[in-house]
A and B are shown apart, each in its own frame.
Chain A
Amino acid sequence: NAGVTQTPKFQVLKTGQSMTLQCAQDMNHEYMSWYRQDPGMGLRLIHYSVGAGITDQGEVPNGYNVSRSTTEDFPLRLLSAAPSQTSVYFCASTTDLIDGYTFGSGTRLTVV
């Protein structure tokens, strides 16, 4: 009964470093998305995928890359971390958006 699993839970990066935030779901959901949560701004969509091999940009895609080689996994890559990317990142999945998302527990990222 894992649902949506995100790793790591916490990460500190130096400016310019790269890293990958992992997201995996075991519910056979086609839709997967990455959101970032910042104080006073709610959740903003970074990238999303409607199925394996298909990804698209959301509201705030700059500085992030994604890929979807399998239905289960949807990693988020930061190519060159910047302090503005300090945030809490949530991965979410669903079979259909009208059903709402199932969220992971988040990754708290600090870029110094």
Chain B
Amino acid sequence: AQSVTQPDIHITVSEGASLELRCNYSYGATPYLFWYVQSPGQGLQLLLKYFSGDTLVQGIKGFEAEFKRSQSSFNLRKPSVHWSDAAEYFCAHKTGANNLFFGTGTRLTVIP
């Protein structure tokens, strides 16, 4: 089945620590992959996207993601987390012509 899996429902990190959020996809020879962030009460904002080329993608707010075809993964990383990064993060995968399939999300808590 076409799907995106985010295995971590909730992650807590200390401010200044590094962050990695996991995403695995299971469909597509040429996957189109995205990471979105949702702050409380807000819509989703695009952080970064990948569809070809360099497998390390830079996004906004200091985030990056690495596409690894051998592991079917597209993990999101940030070297040093800020308190304002506390939010919910969604991985998404373009499946077919007309849909983005979203994962179930990972909620990030940042502690001082």
When C-beta atoms are compared, the residue in chain B nearest to A101 turns out to be B100
Number of interface residues of A (CB under 8 A): 27
Tell me, in angstroms, the Cα distance from A80 to B49 when the chains sit together.
38
Q: Which stretch (A11-19, A35-43, A67-75) binds chain B?
A: A35-43
Tell me, in angstroms, the Cα distance from A9 to B105 when the chains sit together.
22
Q: Flag if A105 contacts B43 (CB, 8 Å).
A: yes
Tell me, in angstroms, the Cα distance from A100 to B61 when the chains sit together.
17
For this complex, 17 residue pairs linking A to B, each with C-beta atoms less than 8 Å apart, are A31-B98, A33-B99, A33-B100, A40-B104, A42-B104, A45-B99, A45-B101, A90-B43, A92-B44, A97-B99, A98-B32, A100-B100, A101-B46, A101-B100, A102-B46, A103-B44, A106-B41
Q: Flag if A90 contacts B44 (CB, 8 Å).
A: yes
Tell me, in angstroms, the Cα distance from A99 to B33 when the chains sit together.
10
Other-chain contact of A97, B36, B42, B98, B105 (Cβ < 8 Å):
B98
Tell whether B83 is near chain A: CB-to-CB under 8 Å.
no
CB neighbours (8 Å) of A90 from chain B are 43-44
When C-beta atoms are compared, the residue in chain A nearest to B44 turns out to be A103
